[in-house]
Amino acid sequence: RWADAMLIAPLSCNTMSKMANAACDNLLLATYLSATCPVILAPAMDEDMWMHPATQYNLARLESFGCINLSVQYGELASGLVGQGRMAEPEEIISYLESFFAQQASLKGKKALVTAGPTYEAIDPVRFIGNHSSGKMGIAIANELKQRGAEVTLVTGPIHLETNGIRRISVTSAEQMYTSCLAEPYDIAVMAAAVADYTPAEVAGQKIKKTGEELTLTLRKTKDILAALGQKKEQGQVLVGFALETNNEKESALKKLAEKNADMIVLNSLQDNGAGFGHDTNKATFYLKNGEEKSFALKTKKALAKDIVDTITNLLL
């Protein structure tokens, strides 16, 4: 646990396969499976091995675990052939490590507040109003902020994902999340949770019985966490909100940006396949207070978290 990073160079096709499938039959693999730090891979193999679908599958799986891939280059291979599969040059690996470690300290001393997951609004002791948020996007952002040196507090709704040693406050309802967030000091706040907009006006003390053909619930608006933080925002703080839309996406995101006094809105659309709740991937457009707009193709939520934190870091400059 003392290491700041683990570099595997060269990474053979055989070792890559074992890592992707959690084999542990030698010292290297035992070290990899015990590593709590970022793992950086520098693959090296023959071109045909590199291009094989099984190899690409294994690499994608390792990337989904959070491993960083220093992709192969074109050049002379050990087999005598020339093609894709040559390990990145040592000078390039060293250059990457220098940039990597510089980035790790880029947010040192900053306090970050992140929300993730859904909220559940009780109807009675058994039932609730909720949504399908998994919390994966918020946790990816929290991990990226922590990796860059920030002191992170993660406020989560009812989710069952590991948070890698990040300080975590677990809540259930929108009211609890509101109270927790407003009590936390921050330099960076990323409101990635899918907070309920409405909650039952009254919660039944006992389970509601099935007594008629219809049941009417009266709902009241929940407190707006992003707006409350926006009202209190001070110079030097960065506030980021999320918007998941089904129509009028850009218009809704820009309206939210202005009304909540946010510095950036991350827009997701349910019209995009592979984006939104439950997926390991996401597609987004960033709308910034300065009028800038950035669109990102479908990618892993971990990769998108890097884009989000890169943008936040630039806003802090």
Counting Cβ atoms within 10 Å, is residue 101 exposed (0-12), middle (13-18) or buried (19+)? exposed
Catalytic residues: 131
For residue 142, give the nearest of 309, 275, 287 by alpha carbon: 309
Counting Cβ atoms within 10 Å, is residue 6 exposed (0-12), middle (13-18) or buried (19+)? middle
Locate tokens 């002791």: which residue? Answer: 125
Q: Three-class SS of residue 221?
A: strand
Counting Cβ atoms within 10 Å, is residue 77 exposed (0-12), middle (13-18) or buried (19+)? buried
Q: Is 86 within 8 Å of 44 (Cβ atoms)?
A: yes
